[in-house]
Amino acid sequence: GAVVSQHPSRVICKSGTSVKIECRSLDFQATTMFWYRQFPKQSLMLMATSNEGSKATYEQGVEKDKFLINHASLTLSTLTVTSAHPEDSSFYICSATRGADYNEQFFGPGTRLTVL
Amino acid sequence: TQLLEQSPQFLSIQEGENLTVYCNSSSVFSSLQWYRQEPGEGPVLLVTVVTGGEVKKLKRLTFQFGDARKDSSLHITAAQPGDTGLYLCAGVYNFNKFYFGSGTKLNVKP
């Protein structure tokens, strides 16, 4: 149990286009979902925390208008990279919690975004 | 600057050797976790340590949480090529923020 999926697993897009990444909790309801970004050979950096039905909380330095997060249901959160540029190329990972314990996070497999 | 600093950043050793990875912070964490990540995949949880001074063992891996709950270590005995990967510590800060450490890239050569 407690499986989190991401779609797509890989996406290549042209500079200036927008890309949507989906994060789904397959067998549980996720009270909170997190979005992380990871550059090659580096650690995961928290981008934002989202709760169902409310606005996401973004970390300092993360552009809200650039990275749109929608958490419309208890099983789905989406991250849209708007007007993508090559520097947005990265590995994006989501995670979800079942309750209030942030220690119990279930991670998705990640999405590799390449912006040409 | 990272809230959780790991050392070393890179480690390349021969199969059979022992190693220790450190995770340090100036802040107190209610708990710390260790993850292992393969390239192109999400991180996989290895262990959660909660009590200051706690020691947990997972086969050849030994995890320790500092008495003051500001640091942790991961010790691997007789490393194997299958242990190769990115090791990440992580923890809940201020009850509502979850942060990953800077990461340690381990390469075990056969």
Residue A76 scores a pLDDT above 70: yes
Beta carbons of B98 and A93 less than 8 Å apart: no
Residues in B lying within 8 Å of A, measured between beta carbons: 2, 31, 33, 40-44, 48, 86, 88, 92, 95-103, 105
Whole-number Å distance between alpha carbons of A2 and A25: 7
pLDDT of residue A41: 81
Beta carbons of A103 and B31 less than 8 Å apart: yes
Taking contacts as CB-CB distances below 8 angstroms, the residues of chain A near B33 are 103
> pLDDT, tens digit, for every residue of B3-42?
899 999 999 999 999 999 999 999 888 889 999 999 899 9
Taking contacts as CB-CB distances below 8 angstroms, the residues of chain A near B103 are 42-43
**Which residues lie below 8 Å from residue B9, measured CB to CB, with a gap of 6+?**
B102, B103, B104, B105
Range A28-40 burial, b when 16+ CB lie within 10 A, else e: bebebbbbbbbee
